[in-house]
A = this chain, B = another copy of it.
């Protein structure tokens, strides 16, 4: 393998200096058309490819943004990542992805790795485990843009893009009530994550506003998964005061609930079920599943836009914006009470 060609090779070939080559290549105005053309052609002829590493080292800008998510395997995050990458790509930014797998240690590692890679900023959604946020503060201390989405944290005074989770919980519950259900249960996670608490608050508020009692035994704390949904439904079915509808923490949990209800001969919409996230499968299962759309595509777009805005600012954290997206109820068969 012959060595990679650098601007030195181009300079040598044309008997000019590297600075001229550099300027010609980077569209510097005060350059004669002739030399610019000569440089461009020679670059192509020698198959020159710029070393962004060197320019990054010099300029301090890598044009790379770090993205930390629990896992790219969740539809919600995949969709967001897709849109972040798409939104940044046309402005010359690429993204490095780091998955926390819902572990704080991984997350801490991720922040460190990304900072060492000299990313120009970080866009993140926290792991379920994360309580202490010192690692995120380090990003701010290094005076780099940090943007949080969906799973955010109040202790961090940074821009956020979130869903109105209170409203999501409220709307889901209200939807069920409007469809005629009266004893509504709620399955959520044990983790003290803001978004789940907010949904729960929304649930309680909707019940209160519509004159229905809030029963603590109808709130199930567990995990979020198909299996957890089955477990939750089982518990609820064993109660004396059985619910006639269930709000499940996400669509997978809702799916588990649906399975268990079918088994028990109470196929939705006999007992109403609504989930969160509008996963791909929700539309296609039987009965198809009512859910709350969390607009991940829009969230991703806003993240990208927010980053691009931030780097234009003198002081990144001067006026910290908080964008809140509104959830949308998607009513399908699983809540269509006859």
A99 vs chain B, min Cβ distance (A)? 6
CB atoms of B85 and A94 under 8 A apart:
no
A49 and B284 contact, Cβ closer than 8 Å, known pairs A78-B73, A96-B94, A96-B95: no
Does A9 make an interface contact (CB < 8 A)?
no
Does A86 make an interface contact (CB < 8 A)?
yes
Q: With A and B bound together, what is the CA distance between A143 and B64 in angstroms? A: 24
Q: With A and B bound together, what is the CA distance between A81 and B99 in angstroms? A: 10
CB atoms of A86 and B99 under 8 A apart:
yes
Which of A15-23, A36-44, A53-61, A200-208 lies at the interface with chain B?
Answer: A53-61
A122 vs chain B, min Cβ distance (A)? 13
Contacts of A94 in B (CB 8 A): 96, 98, 113, 117
Q: With A and B bound together, what is the CA distance between A116 and B94 in angstroms? A: 11
8 A-B pairs within 8 Å (CB atoms) are namely: A50-B116, A52-B118, A81-B97, A85-B99, A96-B97, A280-B280, A281-B285, A285-B285
Contacts of A248 in B (CB 8 A): none
Does A261 make an interface contact (CB < 8 A)?
no
Contacts of A26 in B (CB 8 A): none
Q: With A and B bound together, what is the CA distance between A86 and B72 in angstroms? A: 11
Which residues of A78-109 are within 8 A (CB) of B? 78-79, 81-82, 85-86, 94-99, 101
Does A158 make an interface contact (CB < 8 A)?
no
CB atoms of A116 and B285 under 8 A apart:
no
Q: With A and B bound together, what is the CA distance between A51 and B115 in angstroms? A: 8
Contacts of A326 in B (CB 8 A): none
Contacts of A99 in B (CB 8 A): 82, 85-86
Q: With A and B bound together, what is the CA distance between A281 and B1 in angstroms? A: 48
Does A4 make an interface contact (CB < 8 A)?
yes
Does A157 make an interface contact (CB < 8 A)?
no
Contacts of A73 in B (CB 8 A): 75, 78-79, 82
Which residues of A1-36 are within 8 A (CB) of B? 1, 4
Pick the 6 closest A-B CB pairs, nearest first: A281-B281, A286-B286, A1-B143, A52-B116, A284-B285, A53-B118
CB atoms of B51 and A118 under 8 A apart:
yes
Cβ contacts A132-169/B at 8 Å (1 or 0 each): 00000000001100000000000000000000000000
Contacts of A298 in B (CB 8 A): none
Does A112 make an interface contact (CB < 8 A)?
yes
Cβ contacts A64-78/B at 8 Å (1 or 0 each): 100000011101001
Neighbour of A116 across the interface among B49, B78, B86, B116, CB < 8 A: B49
Q: With A and B bound together, what is the CA distance between A53 and B113 in angstroms? A: 12
CB atoms of B51 and A116 under 8 A apart:
yes
Contacts of A279 in B (CB 8 A): 280-281
A81 vs chain B, min Cβ distance (A)? 5
Does A62 make an interface contact (CB < 8 A)?
yes
Q: With A and B bound together, what is the CA distance between A297 and B309 in angstroms? A: 37
New A-B pairs, 6, CB < 8 Å, besides A51-B118, A72-B78, A85-B98: A4-B142, A72-B81, A82-B99, A85-B97, A95-B97, A281-B285
